[in-house]
Amino acid sequence: MSDQKSKIEVASYKGRRLHPVLKVFLALVLLGALVFGTLFGLVLSGAHDDVNGNPQIMIVLGCQLHEWGPSVLLQDRLNRALDYWKDHPDMIIVVSGGQGDNEPTSEARGMADYLIAHGVEEDHILLEDRSHNTNQNLRYSISLIAEEGYDPTADIMVVSNGFHLTRVRMLWDRAACDNLSTLAAPTSHFPSRLKMYIREPIALVKSFVLDR
């Protein structure tokens, strides 16, 4: 009797097969998770300082500007830049970022005001105030550096939050020579850090495809 019951249970189990549509859906979910995991790993791998040569120009990438001043993410970038500048006070600092619809002025202007308030001389700051994405940040900043009589092929440092730097390096390789150093600012606001580390793998794909 027991053997017959086991056979019935085995036969019943074998008969429960996944619907083909469900199989395809689960396969796509698994593939998506693997792709996202790989991209997430790339983002994490780029979140570090990488200083090469002797950079004389620093580009600080813009982020949200509020009526009361730079957002927490942007303050993180500016404070990291200031930490480095204190030991290299002769550096030229390019602040890069245009004005969004919900911003009181250009991000570049807000960043310059913050740096000046913390001791940087205004004649050491160049404002790139036209860009609205990372690709434009880099390309317009390189053009500005050349227009102001500096060498855009010299060693240059870019400052942004760590999650951003893998994409920065990819876009820099397309826009300029192999002369990049990076400083990874912390992301002190935890909700923003969580949001950006989820968003950035998608942004990396977008930039890879569209930012040419």
The per-residue pLDDT for 133 is 95
The per-residue pLDDT for 7 is 53
> Which pairing describes strands 69-70 and 65-66: parallel, antiparallel, or unpaired?
antiparallel
**Sign of the C-alpha dihedral, residues 101, 105, 111, 114?**
negative
CA separation for the pair 197, 152 (Å, rounded): 30
Cβ proximity of 152 and 176 under 8 Å:
yes
Q: What's the mean pLDDT in 131-157?
A: 95
pLDDT tier at 206 (50, 70, 90 boundaries)? very high
In this model, does residue 71 exceed pLDDT 70?
yes
> What would the pLDDT profile of 103-137 be if each residue is shown by its tens digit?
999 999 999 999 999 999 999 999 999 999 999 99
Rg (Cα) of the chain, in Å, rounded? 24
User: How many CB atoms are closer than 10 A to CB 50?
Assistant: 14
3-state helix, strand and coil shares in percent for the chain, rounded to the nearest 5: 55, 15, 30
Indicate the domain borders of the chain: 2-45, 57-210
The per-residue pLDDT for 145 is 96
CA separation for the pair 208, 196 (Å, rounded): 17
Identify the helix (H) or strand (E) that includes residue 84.
Answer: helix 72-85
Q: What's the mean pLDDT in 123-152?
A: 96
For residues 148 and 10, the model is more confident at: 148
In this model, does residue 80 exceed pLDDT 60?
yes
The most confident of 24-38, 71-85, 188-202, by mean pLDDT: 71-85
CA separation for the pair 52, 45 (Å, rounded): 17
The per-residue pLDDT for 32 is 79
Superfamily grouping for domain 57-210: HUPs (3.40.50.620)
pLDDT tier at 39 (50, 70, 90 boundaries)? confident
> What would the pLDDT profile of 174-204 be if each residue is shown by its tens digit?
887 778 999 999 988 888 888 888 899 999 9
Q: How many residues does the structure list for the chain?
A: 212
CA separation for the pair 1, 153 (Å, rounded): 84
The DSSP letter of residue 132 is -
* Closest alpha carbon to 189 in 161, 151, 166: 161
The residue assigned the tokens 């911003």 is: 103
Q: How many CA atoms lie within 13 A of 169 on its CB side?
A: 18
Cβ proximity of 164 and 187 under 8 Å:
no
